[in-house]
Structure 1
């Protein structure tokens, strides 16, 4: 499955190829009308697609609609991407993951006090369901996914022409739960989330803190076998359609009737001591994670044999990134694991750093983790105190590992958070000793803006109330119901609301000013970095050329030396050949004179002057071999001349042929034949 983090930014070409014979030629008609759903005025784009272009299995001929709200020009991004679902270019799962990762979890949509995204996924009116984004974001999504040409009528129409457009008849299913504007509102969503967190985010008593609880010792094999059988069915069903809390409860009811719930809790399922929660976290199944914790089957702080928590199992694979539900699993269920160590004293930050050497999932997981940490002062304080500079069994911090992996993005994030580069490990190695810390580029990533802004607000809060007075925003606070009875109390509420709104506006303005100043600084640094990068690249190029030229020069020197040696040897051989001509008779006068006079030559063996005058031994051997061959040939010729038997036989054959006389009778005719010839 494609990662939602990679959908929408680099898929235009592939989408164009897939749609070359579908949406370009397949759209029969598009129309713009005005409509109202649950009291919300919208401009509606209706798209009719031909049967040939609809490649979904059901061949649904229902027209596709995309809505734009009149009041603020928000676009329904879910409906916009549904065009590609109808054409079978994307799946519903990919669209859901993209919206969850890149829209609902993207802080760019929450940059100021004005709401930047509306989650109407559960709206009572079906036509309004989906994720609504601002106009400019909708245009960007349409361009990224190459559906702008099909939907540009919706973007180009003027919302002020709402009354002039043709009316679309609709079944206005107005919600029975109050005003339509309240549907899917942020306040309602926040209440639901807060209720879920306050109910299920209990921090269990951990006598093994700061480590995870050790695996459970299996004492009753019968209950373990029953649980494994039931879990096998649950995981299989969840993989197909998803298992709800009630379904899981019903599956375990027979076991709870036969055994105590404590006996069935945290049963290890493999040799590593992994529990069902470890496996559910690995699969990123939010249904099973929530069900196992809700029913008390598993504790989120129970570790395996290595002391790894379910959160570590989750980040060691990419399933949570691909499904886009990591932030939900973390914030709702596995957040106690953020503060726990494994048996190697490694934190979740260590494991994310180790993951950076395998794939790009570390960026996604760390970004979501920091979004969870930084938006709460108490968590940020605890994170800096216990996690950021924590050392494992070898004394390495997460920064040590990031430097070892040479991951500049991760190094920069850790340094921005305040990681201590002067902390030595057990070998005495400090992060500040590495040159890579001086070669970190400026990166355009919203996480850096979030870190810097969070640190600034945190510092101001510490100055204002002190570290000891920073409260944990996760802890539920008691609320008192207030009954509004008089108009005066209503006015007071209005004033309080106006004051809060004014405070948020001022904070937003100040925040924007800080961001703008930081952006200007980043721009200046980017220009300087760009110039320095060009100079460095040119210097590297020149250095590379010089090295290549030096290598070529060394090669030429070696070749010249070889040629010189060859020439010297050739000259020596020529001089030897000129001095000693192998074709002329060779005589050594001193030896020849003595031997011709039968005098002894033994004393010449010790005569150095005589020995130096002799030709080289190879010349002498060559001449001796030549003379031996000549002597052998002469001896063979002499032998043939001395022996006349062969020649006599030949003459007899000639005479026999000429006289027509047998060979044996030739001897008798020789005398008469000789006389005849002489006469």
Structure 2
């Protein structure tokens, strides 16, 4: 891109600073950056104090300050591939004139013709670029060639501005000229002409170098029809405005998960990894992604009509809003329902006109080729697409976009009849939807408040939209439910002036009509009109005060109810907290009880296993009282009466020598003596005094096991003792250098020799070294 740089010194005396301005020869655009410090200094100087800038070209302006400056001075910028911001030549010369530096750069830039220009640059006598020279009004209202306003409110005085004067009126909202708004197509997306084709100065000076060519919609483009959402409930005869379908309620969360995964993979392929494969997905087709998501969720159908947010918006709503035309086409082709609305009944096309994305990208006309069924829909407030276009014009920074949407919409309706149509059979919407149908069914259709689109546009004060609607045939005398008409806001009152008919001429026409008897011209009664307006205002004021009072009473009652419910809520929360505490305690006790029961079961199982090892069966111990102290398993086992007999016999007959007792007495002898002692009247009481047989057997088995364990322990000790003795014998054999079988005979002498030695004289270190060397 060829750029012309011009450097001049600004300021006075010692405070002069070099300023370099850059202009593109291809587009005539100026680099924005050098203007920002000067504009900031101008704002600061008019504000709280002087602001000095040592080097204008190297002064950085914060992003927030830059946004404020662009908004304050109505500057529209275009960004190139290197993120540099450029402004139109007209705006640049306007800023230079405002900053009082135009005289420094005027001759330099006039002497530098742009590519494709004639010998002289198209500038007027004041150095202002007239390539896009158009008069502007402060409220965004344009003027035509003879400087008369295209539209104004009733009662306003319109003064003419000289065409060759230096003061260009600027649209404070977007900095766009009104004629560009009236043309079909987004003024931000012009077709950049080929270098070898004839140059159009207006188009060439407007299109930035970094904007890609956009094909202008023509009647040769085919409209493709689809019948998957065309049901009989919608396509009634004759065709009329229909309410949008309510968003579907999807209870299957798997469908929502599959749709979200598909959209994430489709819109953000670089960060999503839906499957385990690692192939590149940046260039995968729509059908490939459908197949891949079906493999991931094989048993779940892909429902493209599932709402994706809490407002009931479907994917078609979102993608139409962000002007993603290619994905919108694919969604419509694959079954998205175009008649669905969100929670308040707004269709996907309404979402498209409520943002400027389709205006910036110039995609609205092609979007209509796929979403045209939405043109016959209205939301829950009975507002059509025309209502929403007009409402968009009242949003900040959206007036040009709304005018673009309106013109594209009406142009599409007109050109549709000559365009080829292909697809799924006939389409009654396309067959019926023409300019006559739009005027009859949409242009003057009221919403739930009784407002037509012209009524809303008149209240918003958008003159361009009002004039366009009047040109299309909107009726300025249709009143809403409050009795207000568009003409009450000045809509249509400027048509006579804009058509070149003065008030004097209008009165002359009226007088002529009266004198000729064609009709009666009634002179309006001004005083009566003022009295009626005053009465209306008084009535409105009384109604307003009454409504305010009613609403205040309702508000007080609501506050009282709110406080009561707050107290109830606090009480319920306390009860809930107490209930949760009791629930936690109950759960803890239940867990402890379960642990105790499990412990009892484990102990019972252990007891059964031990009883089984001791020879006690379940039948034997079923009648035993294990809680009695009589069967304490930890006490030394003895039968008292037998113990007493043996103790007396040991003490009296054997002098306490148990060995003699064991040698002299046998078990049978002792048993006979015991039986004879308890044999009375022929009854043997011994059976009743002895412990149960299973307990005695268990004792015997326990003693046997203890004997076995003790014997095993003794055998182990003996083995260890024998191994230890062998090791010591081996040590002595090595120390004394004698045979191992002679060590036992030398132990006594060796022990006597060692005991006679002084322990202090024994060389223990030498002995330790010896033991380490001969360790076994």
Please state which band the TM-score falls in when normalised by the shorter chain. Answer: 0.3 to 0.5
Q: Whose helix proportion is higher, 1 or 2? A: 1
Q: TM-score, normalised by structure 2?
A: 0.35
Say which one has the larger Rg: 2
